[in-house]
Structure formats: C-alpha cells, structure tokens
Structure 1
Amino acid sequence: MPESPDVHRSPDSLPEKPGSRRGRRPARPDPGSGPVALLAHRLWELKERAGDPSFAEMSSRLGAAASKSSLAAAARGRTLPTWETTWEFVRVLAVGRLGQDERETEREWRSYWEQARTQGPPASPAAESEPAQTGPAQNTPARTGPAQNTPARTGTVAGPAESGLAEGGPVADGPAPAARSLRIRIGRPVVLGVLSAVLAGGAGAVVAAFSPFGGEKAPDKAVPHESPAWTAQSSDDSVFEGDVTYPDGSTVRRKAHFTKVWRIRNAGTVPWEGRYLTRINSTPCRAPERIAIEPTAPGRTTDIAVRVRAAAGPARCKIFWKMTSEDGTPLFPAKKPIFLDVSVQ
C-alpha cells in the first residue's frame, strides 16, 4: 500500500525551495562519466520526483533500512553501492512515496544496478584508495620509498625528508655511483633471502619475498578464509508468516493502546539467540525502540508482540522494524522491514 504523502510529514520533510537547505548541496554526478555515475544520476532523478527528501529523512521517517551516509554515498556516483542499499533508496521513494508497483520497480532497478556492475568499475575507487597506498611508503625504509615517491637518482639515498634530498650537495655531485653502490648493497640480502625462501618454502615463498611491504599482503591471503564465515551466515534466514493482530489498514481510536503481533519463522540453520526488532523510523504513534525476540530454533515460528499507543489525532502510522543483534547490527539487510500500518481516527 503506498504511503500517504501528507500524514507523517513535518516541516523539515516537506520539499524545500531552491537554496533553502542548509549546507553545501552535493554535486550531481555526470551520467556520461561512467556506468556507476549513470546509476547515481538515476537515483537523483528519482529522489527529485519523490519530493527531494533529505537522506536523513529517507533513513528515518521514510523507513529506508540503510544509513543516511550510505544513501548519500550511493547518490555520489563514485563507487557502486550494494544492491541492498540501492534497493532501500529506491523502495522508500518509488514504492513508498510514488506508489509504483514494487515488483516491477525492483526488476527495473535491479537491471540498472546489474548494468552498472557488469560494465566495469568506475575510475574513482583507485583515486580514493590512493592515500592508503602511498601512506606506507612515507613510513618505510629508504630502499622502498623512492621507487614510488622520488626520482631514482635521489630516492635511493634517503626516505621521507624530500627537502633534504633537493638541497643535499653531496648527493648531486655523484648520483649514479652512489645509486649503483647502494642498490648492490641492498640487492644482495634480498637475493639471499629469496634463495633461502625457495629452499625453505618453495615457489610460493618467492612471491612473499619480493613483496615491498610484507605486512600489506596479509589481508590478501586472509580473504579465502572469509568464505566459510559467509557460508555460515548465509544459512541464517527468516520468513514472514503473517499478521496475527491488526493487519495492514486496520483502524484504531485516538490515544488507544493496542498490541500488534507478527509471526515469523526461522528458515535457516542458525538458532536465534539475543535478537531484536529495532525500530527504524518515527510516526505520530508511540512504540518501543526495540522488541526482544524469543529464542527460536531452526524451522520453528515465533510470535513477536509490540505495545503501541495511537496518536492523539487523526493520522496514519506506518512503523518499520528490522531484525538486529543485541548491539544493533542488522542481520538481514537485504530483507524488507516488518511494519505496522494503521489509521488513527
């Protein structure tokens, strides 16, 4: 059911006139600069058609299960957002505000997202990661720094103090012999280290021996070990069974207290312990921020009840909750929120 455009709006959530929003308005990406920028441009167009709400409003009042910073990053067009973030951006605007068909909308935007993903990465991620790559070179011994940050004739002598290199007279008098002799002195231990590595560990050790920053390569080797953890997490799943009380569209009296109950099933292989439904938006009706979920074994269902107080005046209350861990970490970011949808009369 599309959300009423006028029920939950505060003055802050109304479309703003040009120039009225505080702070510097982010620059819109050029759709011709790449597939990721084109996707972000489409998100901007959708946002404007839906009344141009702020990212904070999308994350809170409209019920997007993504942070305002993630939504803003998706609209910048520098890196490809996850599909989950993209869909939450689209869902609350196209479906929630504009009343478009949810399945058709999801199919259309999934196609846009896949197009951006398969047509190649944007150019900006490398630039954004550049500080992380150049930073270690400034703090490493002199033999590694020069190859990336300084000319060959001076970089072989010193490291971080670039001003000293430019002003050092002795270095300028004999650059080539100094460079050659230092390279020889450095090269011999490296060659010996490589030979020792081959004898001790085989060909695989050669790659590690030639690594300019030994510690920097550890994360690459650790990546395969993340797969089992992801496999275990992917077996964690939930299925919404239905509304037990107050189905969507129910009517309640002003200031009335009522209990909404949902039924969900543990459809995975992981027992549920220490889980909660955490509210992600605000409405005129009052409801707790967090609801405890009873421990639930795989394959079993559980009823989750929340006590709600209706608004003091006529209103529509559509409150969203997402399943989280005890520390608030979302457990199923790709799934749609569970919600309460009642009219107060």
Structure 2
Amino acid sequence: MAESSGPLDEGTGSRRGRKPVRPDPESGPVALLAHRLWELKEQAGDPSFADMATRLGAAASKSSLAAAARGSTLPSWETTWEFVRVLAVDRLGQDLDEVRREWRAHWEQAGIAGDSENEARMPEQLPSEPPGPPAPNISHRRSRRLAVLAAASGAAGVGAVLLAWFLTFGGDKPQGDSTAQPTPAQSSTPRDDSVFERDVTYPDGSVVTKGSNFDKTWRIRNAGTVPWQDRYLTRMNDTPCRAPKRVGIGPVLPGESVDITVRVRASDAPGRCKIFWKMTDEDGTPLLAAKKPIFLDVTVA
C-alpha cells in the first residue's frame, strides 16, 4: 500500500494522524534524554513543537525541538534548555535554577556516556611499524675485496697493494640514512567561537516592576582563537520594554570571559518582556552565525 501523501502535522513534523514514536530509553544515553523530554512535554499538556516555538516563546525552531525529542543525536544545550524552560518553568511553574541544574546534568551525562560508547565501539589500533630496509651483504663484498688485495700484493708491488686496499675497504663506510627534512608546522585556521556562561543578573523568569530601570548582565567567554575587537551586542527585536539598539563588547582575548550589561526600562503595563541580542561587527553584520542569540526574559508586574 502506498504511503499517504497527506499534510504534515505542524507540531511533530510527522504525517497527520501518525503519532511520533517515543525513543526507547534503553537504546542509549541520548535516547534516554529524549525520553525524559517526552515525559516533560506530556506533563506540560503535550503542546505541539510549533506552539512551543511560537506561542510559548522557545528560542528554538520547531524542527530543532522535534529533533531533540527524536533521540537520534544529542541536541545542543541551548535547544535542550529552551525545550525544558518553556515547559518546566513557564508552563509548570517549577524553580528555574533547580530545573537548569537538573537538566544540565541530564544533558552532560548523555554527552559523556555517548562519547564513552563511541570509544568502546572503536578500539584504538596502533599502526604497525614498517619493516626497515634489508641490511647490505657486507661480508660477501668484503671477502671478494680481500681476494683482490691478495692478488695485487703478489703481482704488482706496493702501489698496487695500496690501490687494492682502497678499493677493498674504502667503500665500506656506511652511507648515511636519508633523513626527511622537517616541514614547517601548518598554521592552524583561525576559529571564532563563544560560550554563554551564565546570567549574572535577572535570570530568565525574573520579575521587575512596571516602569522601572534595571541592568541586565550576561557573562560570555571567547572560546575561539580570534581576539574580539570592535564587536557589539545588537538588539534583534522590539518589545514594550525599551533597551539600546546595541552595546559594546570587549576587547576580549581568546579564553577570556566578559560581562556585558544592558540598561533596560520595563514597560508601563504588566506582561512578559523577551528581547534578543546577537553579536555583530561595528557595521551591524551578524557574527557567529551558528550561535543562537542571547536574550532577556522577564515578567513585568
């Protein structure tokens, strides 16, 4: 029977009417993490992935959330946290810090256990040492030359003896091994990367007073090999809460962490305030395209 070509369900990405298969938690650490995500999703009322990415405000795409729940590959921590945050914190009202610690441990354990399984499947194989070149047959050559020396000593006097001596032993000096000249080390390709470390102030879900001014601070680390100069956090969206269009970063050397602070004015009406920022150069060109924006997420009351 041919498969149905009906429309896809917007929440799961599967064909409408087909319930996605929950991964078997016994099949591996990544599948176990996905199984836990499914359980959380059901506890929160089983919203669709599309609703999670739009109405519930997850800073991750519908497809990324769905992929995290399939359990085939380990999702990024950012995607995992957005999956968990909108359900456990925003929907179920659980404590943000406790939820973050618990799920960070689940996510890290899935990554560590997954790496261990891969190493177990691929035992280290030491390359066999190539055989050396065959030793020259010096004894045969030396015997032949001694015979030449003996014949010369009986036939041609001292000069012939000296010549024969040179021919006999002068060529026995071993030739030096041809040693490959060291090649200069290849220069490593510059790598631009960042790591979000933590919210220094006003973690997600914090409550602020209507019309108040407050300073939001994040801590990020230069995890690449490129120094950061003339870089900014540029605001990506508009909300009732007001914030500058961009704030400066750095300079920051590779391996260093930096605190970035934005002054925000809360809206005059109660509600949720979520503002996204992305790292750009001084012309506003986005950098680190693979990285998700960092954001402020507070409740105005």
Q: TM-score category by the smaller chain?
A: 0.5 to 0.7
**1:276 corresponds to which of 230, 234, 238:** 234
Partner of 1:229: 191
Partner of 1:43: 37
Give, in whole Å, the separation in 2 of the partners of 1:100 and 1:291: 31
Partner of 1:13: none
CA shift at 1:108, angstroms?
A: 1.9
Which runs of structure 2 are paired with 1:36-115 in the superposition (5 Å)? Answer: 36-115=30-109
Partner of 1:250: 209
Q: Report the 3-state secondary structure (helix = DSSP H, G, I; strand = E; otherwise coil) of the residue aligned with 1:229.
A: coil
Question: Identity, % of aligned pairs?
Answer: 42
Q: Using a 3 Å threshold, how does the CA distance of structure 1 residues 76 and 306 change in structure 2: closer, same or farther?
A: same
Partner of 1:318: 273
Confirm or deny: 8 A CA contact 1:264 1:303 kept in the other structure: yes
Q: Using a 3 Å threshold, how does the CA distance of structure 1 residues 328 and 73 change in structure 2: closer, same or farther?
A: farther
Q: Report the 3-state secondary structure (helix = DSSP H, G, I; strand = E; otherwise coil) of the residue aligned with 1:113.
A: helix
Give, in whole Å, the separation in 1 of the partners of 2:90 and 2:285: 28
Partner of 2:246: 293
| Deviation sequence 1:278-316 (CA, Å, 0-9, x none) | 24xx9xx7468x952133444786544468574xxxx63
Confirm or deny: 8 A CA contact 1:29 1:38 kept in the other structure: yes
Give, in whole Å, the separation in 2 of the partners of 1:273 and 1:97: 36
Q: Report the 3-state secondary structure (helix = DSSP H, G, I; strand = E; otherwise coil) of the residue aligned with 1:295.
A: strand
Q: Report the 3-state secondary structure (helix = DSSP H, G, I; strand = E; otherwise coil) of the residue aligned with 1:53.
A: coil
Amino acid at match of 2:276: W
Q: Using a 3 Å threshold, how does the CA distance of structure 1 residues 276 and 24 change in structure 2: closer, same or farther?
A: farther
Q: Using a 3 Å threshold, how does the CA distance of structure 1 residues 100 and 238 change in structure 2: closer, same or farther?
A: closer
Amino acid at match of 1:107: R
Q: Report the 3-state secondary structure (helix = DSSP H, G, I; strand = E; otherwise coil) of the residue aligned with 1:110.
A: helix
CA shift at 1:80, angstroms?
A: 1.1
Q: Using a 3 Å threshold, how does the CA distance of structure 1 residues 54 and 200 change in structure 2: closer, same or farther?
A: farther
Give, in whole Å, the separation in 2 of the partners of 1:292 and 1:78: 39
Confirm or deny: 8 A CA contact 1:278 1:324 kept in the other structure: no
Which runs of structure 2 are paired with 1:7-18 in the superposition (5 Å)? Answer: none
Partner of 2:142: none
**1:30 corresponds to which of 24, 28, 34:** 24
Q: Using a 3 Å threshold, how does the CA distance of structure 1 residues 296 and 335 change in structure 2: closer, same or farther?
A: closer
Is 1:119 matched with 2:81? no
Is 1:339 matched with 2:297? yes
Give, in whole Å, the separation in 2 of the partners of 1:65 and 1:116: 22
Give, in whole Å, the separation in 1 of the partners of 2:50 and 2:104: 24
Give, in whole Å, the separation in 1 of the partners of 2:116 and 2:64: 18
What is the CA RMSD across the aligned residues, in angstroms? 4.6
Question: Where in structure 2 are there 5+ consecutive unaligned residues?
Answer: 1-10, 118-177, 223-227, 252-257
Greater RCO between the two (CA within 8 Å, min separation 6)?
A: 1
Partner of 1:195: none
CA shift at 1:103, angstroms?
A: 2.6
Give, in whole Å, the separation in 1 of the partners of 2:74 and 2:32: 11
Partner of 1:182: none
Give, in whole Å, the separation in 1 of the partners of 2:50 and 2:180: 54
Higher helix proportion (structure 1 or 2): 1
CA shift at 1:46, angstroms?
A: 0.4
Question: Where in structure 1 are there 5+ consecutive unaligned residues?
Answer: 1-15, 124-198, 205-221, 252-257
Q: Report the 3-state secondary structure (helix = DSSP H, G, I; strand = E; otherwise coil) of the residue aligned with 2:60.
A: coil
Which runs of structure 2 are paired with 1:191-206 in the superposition (5 Å)? Answer: none
CA shift at 1:31, angstroms?
A: 1.8
Question: How many residues in Structure 1 have an aligned counterpart in Structure 2?
Answer: 210
CA shift at 1:85, angstroms?
A: 1.9
Confirm or deny: 8 A CA contact 1:293 1:304 kept in the other structure: no
| Deviation sequence 1:185-234 (CA, Å, 0-9, x none) | xxxxxxxxxxxxxx997899xxxxxxxxxxxxxxxxx9x935x525xx34
Give, in whole Å, the separation in 2 of the partners of 1:335 and 1:118: 26
| Deviation sequence 1:138-167 (CA, Å, 0-9, x none) | xxxxxxxxxxxxxxxxxxxxxxxxxxxxxx
